[in-house]
Structure 1
Amino acid sequence: MSYIQGFVTAVPTAGRAAFEEHARKAAALMREFGASRVVDAWGVDVPDGKVNDFKGAVAAKADETVCFGWMEFPDAAAAKACFDKMMSDPRMRELGDMPFDGKRMIFGGFEPLMDEGAAVEGGFVDGFVIPVPAGKREAFRDMALTAWPMFRDHGARRDVEAWGVDVPRGQVTDFFRAAHAEDGENVIFAFLEWPDKETRDAGMKAVMEDERMATMPPEMPFDGKRMIFAGFEVI
């Protein structure tokens, strides 16, 4: 089964060029080490939440931008092999210091519950982090599969909903804190890929007005107030 390593970072806004350069060099090595795809995206529509949000997830400062990204692997073993190589290959040290505070980066390994559609090169991404009770894993998957045709018909190209299987607890930040996860809850890392922001904006509006919304379950299998979401431009 495929495997996703997801991450969220707070990057100095003025340092976007340095972040992009570092990300591209690192991505080339990650692909050499076994990643089938590497995506980094810059936050351009990151709303404030009433309970939690992406800014709080990484303790972003006023002069920082939230970035969302992931690496895809054929399976968990390939991901582990990649990270083993990353730790031992001297070329990683040649990349220099990370252009952001690594202590506030959140990351984890996720197993896709669903992966529908085809990946977009470039484009725009809606990213999500969602707390879901462990016993509602299949109910969440069923809900996501029901919703996908609406997003697809209104312009979305791909929908991935992935279940946390190796999500470490951090000293400063982590995915569980980001989602305000409670005992007995796991974390979903998810993303919708669109060809561009214009298609996403029109598509999201159309989805909300789609009559098929009435067929969705009346009660979501998670606490929507603690779901965090934002829009990101792929770099």
Structure 2
Amino acid sequence: MTYVDGFVCAVPAANKEAYRKHAADALPLFKEFGATRMVECWGDDVPDGKVTDFKGSVKAEEGEVVVFSWMEYPDKATRDAAGEKMMSDPRMAAMGASMPFDGKRMIYGGFEPIVDQDLGGAMGYADGYLVPVPHGNREAYRVIAEKAAEVFKDHGATRVVEAWGHDLPDGKVTDYKMAVQAKDDENTVFSWVEWPSKQARDDGWKKVMEDARMKTPPADMPFDGQRMIYGGFSPIVDA
């Protein structure tokens, strides 16, 4: 089964090209270590929330942009082996010494996909989500997410992934639990929807919102939507 490492970080807007180059330069190493895909997405439509939002999740400061990114591996064993190699490889240490962002506020963790519907095709835009879900509602969440994925695909999305938190370390400054204000009995889901372009996403969302299949009463939702984090992102690295 595939495995995903998910990341959220805050990058100074002025460092966009430096960040893109930093990520692109690291790509050959991650592939060498076993990653099958690396995606870095620059915040484009990241709204402020009343309870939680992407900016708050990484304590973004004035002039910083939220980056939503993920790494895909063929399985958890490959991901774990890659992590060990990263920790011991001097090339990674050298790259870590010159990061164009504050790594202390970066959120990271490992996730197990429970929904992965893929029509294929190049990605031109992505919607990213972080969702607090009670551990006991995992299957209920998977069922409703599977149905929603069909709606997104019917209206132009090319891939929908819902990944269940599996290896989420506690952080001193930021982490996935703090991001969604997760309670003791809740987990965090890392999710994204891929679109061919931003225009396709904007057009598709209008149809999704009007689709009767998305009219689920709040009481029937297996998670607290008020603490769900969401935003739109433009890919700057996808290989």
- The bucket for the TM-score relative to the shorter chain is over 0.9
Deviation sequence 1:67-101 (CA, Å, 0-9, x none): 00000011111001111111122222343411100
Hey, what's the Cα distance between the residues in 2 that align with 1:120 and 1:22? 26
Partner of 1:62: 62
1:87 is paired with a residue whose SS is helix
The separation in 1 between residues aligned to 2:215 and 2:127, in whole angstroms, is 23
- For normalisation by structure 2, the TM-score amounts to 0.95
Change (3 A) 1:173 1:204: same
Tell me the amino acid that sits aligned with residue 129 of structure 1.
L
Change (3 A) 1:181 1:217: closer
CA distance 1:59–1:217, shift in 2 (3 Å): closer
CA apart distance, 1:122: 4.1
**Deviation, structure 1 residue 119:** 4.8
Aligned to 2:213: 212
Whole-angstrom CA distance in 1 between matches of 2:13 and 2:107: 18
Q: Which runs of 5+ in 2 are unaligned?
A: none
How far 1:121 sits from its partner (Å)?
A: 3.5
Which residue of structure 2 lines up, in the alignment, with residue 93 of structure 1?
93
Counterpart position of 2:9:
9
Please tell me whether the aligned partners of residues 129 and 192 of structure 2 are also in contact (alpha carbons under 8 angstroms).
yes
**Which stretch shows the higher mean deviation, 20-29 or 44-53?**
20-29
TM-score by length of 1: 0.96
Contact 1:140–1:221, Cα closer than 8 Å, also in 2: yes
Contact kept in structure 2, 1:129 and 1:229, CA below 8 Å: yes
Output the aligned Cα RMSD: 1.4
Query: Which aligned pairs between 1:221-232 and structure 2 lie closer than 5 A?
Result: 221-232=222-233
Once residues 11 and 120 of structure 1 are traced to their aligned partners in structure 2, the CA distance between those partners, rounded to angstroms, is: 28
Partner of 2:183: 182
**In 1: Cα distance, 2:86 partner to 2:113 partner:** 23
Q: CA deviation at 1:31?
A: 1.0
Gaps of 5+ in 1: none
Q: Which amino acid aligns with 1:182?
A: K
Task: Give the residue type in structure 1 aligned to 2:99.
Answer: M
Write out aligned runs for 1:137-216 (5 A): 137-214=138-215
Q: Is contact 2:6–2:108 with CA below 8 Å preserved after alignment? A: yes
CA shift in 2, pair 1:221/1:196, >3 Å: same
Q: Give 1:48's aligned residue.
A: 48
**Residues 126 and 194 in structure 2, CA contact (< 8 A), matched pair in contact too:** yes
Is the 1:120–1:193 contact (alpha carbons within 8 Å) kept by the matching residues of 2? no
Give the Cα separation in 2 of the matches to 1:218 and 1:51.
19
Output the CA distance in 2 between the equivalents of 1:7 and 1:165.
Answer: 14
Shift of 1:212: 2.5
Tell me the SS of whatever aligns to 1:65.
strand
Superposed CA offset, 1:103-146 (max 9, x none): 00000000011100145534111000000000000000000111
